[in-house]
Amino acid sequence: MSQPLFGELDLLHSNQGVLIGTAGLVVLWVALTLLERRGRRVGALVSRTVKRPLTLGLAAALYAGWITQLLEPATSKLNGLASARLSASLMIVAISWATIRLGHAVLRSRSFEEWLKVEDPKDEAMLISLLDRLYVIGVLVVASAALMVTFGVSTTAVATLLGGAGIGIGFGTQHISQNFLSGFMLFFNRPFKEGDWISTTGLEGTVESIGWYHTRLRTFDRRPLYIPNAVFATNPIENPGQMYNRRIKTSLSLRYEDITRVQTVTEQIRSMLENHPKIDQNQTILVNFNEWDSSSVNVMIYCFTHTTVWKEWLDVQQQVFLDIAQIVKGAGADFAFPATTFYPAPQLPEENAIRKLNVA
Is 0.85 surpassed by the pTM of this model?
no
CA 132, 137, 141, 142: dihedral to nearest 10 degrees? 0
| Three-class DSSP category at 80 | coil
Distance, in Å, from the CA atom of 240 to the CA atom of 185, rounded to the nearest integer, reads 20
Could you read off the pLDDT of 322-343 as tens digits, one per residue?
A: 999 999 999 999 998 876 766 6
What integer pLDDT is reported at residue 172 of this predicted model? 56
**Which band of pLDDT confidence, cut at 50, 70 and 90, is reported for residue 157?**
confident
Report angle CA 31, 33, 35 to the nearest 5 degrees: 70
Does residue 166 have a pLDDT over 70?
no
Distance, in Å, from the CA atom of 303 to the CA atom of 306, rounded to the nearest integer, reads 10
* Strand locations in 107-196 (E): none
Report angle CA 45, 143, 11 to the nearest 5 degrees: 90
Beta bridge partners of 199: 204, 238
How buried is 257 (Cβ within 10 angstroms: 0-12 exposed, 13-18 middle, 19+ buried)? exposed
Give the per-residue SS3 of 171-220: HHCHHHHHHHHHHHHHHHHCCCCCCCEEEECCEEEEEEEECCCEEEEECC
Could you read off the pLDDT of 214-264 as tens digits, one per residue?
A: 888 998 888 989 888 888 888 888 888 788 899 999 999 999 999 999 999
